[in-house]
Amino acid sequence: MDTLRILIVEILNELNYQLRATDDGQEKKEIRRLKKILWMLLEDVIEQELDKNSQTYKDAIEALERADKDAKRATLDIKKCSESLNSIVDAIKILEKVVGTTIGIFT
């Protein structure tokens, strides 16, 4: 099973690919915003000792796995970029609950 750290980094990598692939200014702006949020959450994940047995943690893993798959699809077909970004936002909302941080952008 992947960890939160690995999944967040995988998504960040896919977002980098999408950033280079898209010509849409709004998508570029949203990708950059999501990258910043994910970096902040990654820092929280690294600093904290998280309960890997909690349901919220498991939900975050599932959401990040979905977001990673969607991001990989979007990297192959940039037309799916906005779909991927929505999936990443959903994963971030759950991840915020795990680390006890609310950046407040999505709530």
Contacts of 38 (CB under 8 A, 6+ apart): 8, 11, 12, 15, 88, 92
Longest dimension (CA), the chain: 41
Confidence of residue 107 (pLDDT cuts 50, 70, 90): very low
Average pLDDT, the chain: 88
Q: What is the DSSP letter of 57?
A: H
pLDDT of residue 34: 95
pLDDT of residue 15: 95
E-assigned strand segments in the chain: none
- Is a pLDDT exceeding 70 seen at residue 106? no
Residues across the chain: 107
Two tokens, residue 32: 């950059």
pTM here? 0.85
Instruction: Please write the tens of the pLDDT for every residue from 19-31.
Output: 999 999 999 999 9
